[in-house]
Chain A
Amino acid sequence: MTDLERTAVVALRDAAKHFGPVKALNGVSLSVAPGECLGLVGHNGAGKSTLVNLVNGSFAPSSGEVTFPGGPEGVRSVFQELSLCPNLTVAENLSIAHSGLKGRGWRRPARAEILASLDTVFPDHDIDPDAEVDQLTIAERQMVEIAIGFAPRGGSAKLVILDEPTSSLDEGIARQLLSHVRAFCAAGGAVIFISHMLGEVFAVASRIVVLKDGKVVADRPAQDFSRQGLVDAMGHVAAEGTQSTITRIAHGEVVIRAEGLEARRGEVVGLSGLAGHGQAAALARLYLAQTSDWRAGRGARAVFVAGDRPRDGVLPLWSILRNISISVLGRDGKGGFVNTAAERSLAEEWKQRIGIRTNDLTNPILSLSGGNQQKVLFARALASDAEIIVMDDPMRGVDVGTKQDVYAIIRAEAAKGRTFLWYSTETEEVCQCDRVFVFRDSQISAELTGDQITEDRILEASFEMMEAS
């Protein structure tokens, strides 16, 4: 054991994790020291989530070892798949993670503790500790989960693992989190920070580890990486920013006008604003009004790409194949029967086009990593003939390379005359749209087109009322 490992919060030595023939993690050695913020990057399926599960003890390594020189207490993880109990209140959720809260009158200290933690990480949040979690927006749930991760819980947090913590947060809240992470590390805490948003990784990480196919391919101080160098280390071919020169073409007739939104044929329409200001609800209402509870219709006008995968998208008992084909069975089938040959070739085609990482499409959908499940949902929607594609923040947990691929597919499909309605919490994505509606308090506060679509204008429209009041 080296000196570095002795002082480390956690040290992995040649740790590997295999699931049957799948080598999710293939011999990884690294250690995290107090005061360090380790940025962990890699494509979907590179082994990031598996590494996290080894560190927090969910999995035992298949070989190698994971040691905690100072003991395993104080290691916390915050997951990208939200893991709160939706039927309990915020304070009750804290008490699940905090075994010290028991006996009579545990609620009062629980409320105080979670509120204190929320105030520390997200000043001027307005989350009620007595609110039930399913009444919160997805961004608020994520904030609660992060606050529980940093809460003292009878000791103190020594290592907090943040797995895609900002994917459902808007920019302002994300900035608060990043500055808290910096303060936490400056006070001697350690953080493992996983994100596909490289800007954030550079903003907080003191050291960056790049994972690829279950192995560490680079492990250096953050300042030794350039943005392009990091993308190259992750091993994606397409350079970032190649598609940023979008030619804005004239669009066809209006194909849909609902919920105050308007979209034309071949147009990519963005929905923006702070997270949880009614964008997702408006899109869901719009989609449900376009389709029927009773008739499937050979060519449905609209399809939906879910961002909240477990709630809105994934059919968990099924294979990848069946999850891809469910929306087009009526189109490809004959006489009410499923056309299995067409189903398989369609799924194979989309597996190639969108790069779903699996060697067998009959594997269960849940065997895929989160980002790859998202690709399946994209494939499901894009494989249909629907002219309107409704996307509810669909890029959460998707890696940089895949995002570029999906942007390109969206552009190509829009050029063929399909219309996209795209809610995103990332301003960078919204800026690629042809027309943007900014939401504030469940109402449209601005409609921007062409050159008006800039980050400043969007932020301005998101906050206007708050400044005025």
Chain B
Amino acid sequence: MTMKPWVWAWTAAALAFAATVLLTSGRGAGELAYAALSFGAFAAIVGLGQMLVITLGPGNVDLSIPACMTLAGTLALKAMGTTDGTAFLGLAVALATGLAMGCANFVLIWLLRLPPIIATLAASLIYQSLAIWSNRGLRIKPPEGLADFSTGRFIGVPNLAWIALGLAILVWLLLERTIWGRWLLASGQNARAARLAGIPVQAVRAATYLSVAVFAALAGYLLASFSGGAALNMGAEYLLMSIAVVVIGGSSIAGGNSNVPGVIGAALFMFLVVSMLNSYGAGAGIKSVLTGTIIIAIVIAASTRRSRQ
């Protein structure tokens, strides 16, 4: 093995950071790093969940992530109702919502045998409608303590980044060291062979679809607290984002192979690219075109590199 695939994501993130800081000749580097780590944390959390699902093999993807984030954030903030000291109640509500949505997704996939793309996309319409119905467009502010926590820092690094790092380590341990991780990786390579080797493939799939929904719910809860309330479109950009960070991070889209450090690097990169283009004064249209081009370029660079190994 010559070069780890995650090196690409991290190199690209570093380059984007340098290019932005260069423009402002060093001023604002601290703020940029803070923003990148905070916003990157959301992309990393949903990206880790999406990575687990994509690892399950071809056809497996969760498109309900944005709706999960919105519904979990909305219900959590409604339960807390800006009252101090309810942060853990809100967290519990968000995670329970996530579990419920994960169960619903998997039941659709398993019992109705729907392709995951259809099942999760259809389910997300229901989740989104539930979110609209539950608070009728009112924006409830998070409790002050929780808002402070989600925008605060610990040893100079945003709290959100610590949470994402903790989850990343957890997922890495799961994949590299545990039996469940092995089962997941085996199922993704060849589900039939895995089943014939005695792996409970359905249980592995169920746990994975539950995990991704819980991760999305956690990200929704944190994002709503961070941005001063849940908005109905708050998850929208995380659909493409969750898939892009997995691919850019060097995980195999064909399944069976995942890459935790790559997801983190790619999450930072995705935010930095947008802020780089912002600071160079690019318009919205140009920004989208360039972001798309850059994503394609880095995926090509990483994949040709890999095929030569």
Question: CB within 8 Å of B: which residues of A?
Answer: 284, 287-288, 291-296, 300, 303-304, 306, 311-318, 322, 326-327, 329-330, 333, 336-338, 380, 384
Contact = CB atoms under 8 A, between A and B. Distances in A.
Given A315-B186, A316-B190, A318-B189, A336 B196 contact: no
A314 B193 contact: yes
Contacts of B182: 322, 326, 329, 338
B178 A337 contact: yes
21 contacts: A287-B196, A288-B195, A293-B200, A293-B201, A294-B200, A295-B200, A312-B192, A313-B196, A314-B190, A315-B197, A316-B190, A317-B252, A317-B256, A317-B257, A326-B194, A326-B197, A327-B197, A329-B179, A329-B182, A338-B179, A338-B181
B279 interface: no
Nearest to B252: A317
Given A304-B198, A317-B256, 5 more contacts: A317-B185, A318-B186, A330-B179, A336-B178, A338-B178
Interface string B164-199: 000000000000011111110110011011111111
B11 interface: no
Nearest to A381: B197
Given A333-B179, A336-B179, A338-B178, A293 B195 contact: yes
Contact of B203 (A295, A300, A304): A295
Interface in B255-281: 256-257
B227 interface: no
A289 B302 CA distance: 43
Nearest to B110: A293
Contacts of B190: 311, 314-316
Given A294-B202, A317-B257, A338-B182, A306 B189 contact: no
Interface string B106-132: 000000000000000000000000000
B60 to A, nearest CB: 16
Contacts of B201: 293
A311 B179 contact: no
Contacts of A295: 200, 203
Contacts of B194: 315, 326
A337 B189 contact: no
Contacts of B197: 303-304, 313, 315, 326-327, 380
B193 A315 contact: yes
A337 B177 CA distance: 6
Interface-centre pick from B193, B195, B198, B199 (highest chain A CB count, 10 A):
B198
Name the residue among A329, A333, A336 with the largest chain B CB count within 10 angstroms. A329
B211 to A, nearest CB: 15
A296 B199 CA distance: 6
A303 B194 CA distance: 12
A384 to B, nearest CB: 8
Contacts of A315: 186, 189-190, 193-194, 197, 256
Contacts of A329: 179, 182-183
In the A-B complex, the 4 residue pairs with the smallest Cβ-Cβ separation, listed nearest first, are: A293-B202, A304-B196, A329-B179, A315-B189
A296 B195 contact: no
Given A287-B196, A294-B202, A296-B200, A336 B180 contact: yes
Contacts of A322: 182
Contacts of A333: 179
B178 to A, nearest CB: 5
B199 A312 contact: no
A51 B145 CA distance: 72
Nearest to B180: A336
A330 B186 CA distance: 14
Contact of A326 (B178, B180, B186): B186
A240 to B, nearest CB: 31
Contacts of B193: 306, 311-315
A21 B37 CA distance: 45
Interface string B188-229: 011011111111111100000000000000000000000000
A248 B11 CA distance: 67
A312 B194 CA distance: 8
A213 to B, nearest CB: 27
Contact of A338 (B177, B200, B257): B177
Contacts of A291: 198
Contacts of A336: 178-180
A292 B199 CA distance: 8
Contacts of A304: 196-198
A312 B196 contact: yes
A300 B196 contact: no
A329 B179 CA distance: 6
Nearest to A339: B179
B85 to A, nearest CB: 35
A294 B189 contact: no
B192 A311 contact: yes
A294 B195 CA distance: 10
B73 to A, nearest CB: 31
Contacts of A293: 195, 200-203
Contacts of B196: 284, 287, 304, 306, 312-313
A208 B237 CA distance: 67
A316 B189 contact: yes
A330 B198 CA distance: 10
Contacts of B195: 288, 293
Contacts of B189: 315-318
Contacts of B185: 317-318
B35 to A, nearest CB: 37
B202 A296 contact: no
Nearest to B201: A293
Contacts of A313: 193, 196-197
B65 to A, nearest CB: 26
A317 B182 CA distance: 12
Given A295-B203, A315-B193, A338-B179, A300 B198 contact: yes
A296 B179 CA distance: 11
A106 B180 CA distance: 51
A201 B163 CA distance: 66
A288 B195 CA distance: 8
Contacts of B198: 291, 296, 300, 303-304, 326-327, 384
Contacts of A294: 200, 202-203
A326 B199 contact: yes
Contacts of A296: 183, 198-200, 203
Nearest to B176: A338
Contacts of A292: 200
A269 B178 CA distance: 36
B170 to A, nearest CB: 13
Nearest to A322: B182
Nearest to A287: B196
Contacts of B177: 337-338
Nearest to A305: B196
A316 B191 CA distance: 12
Nearest to A288: B195
A366 to B, nearest CB: 11
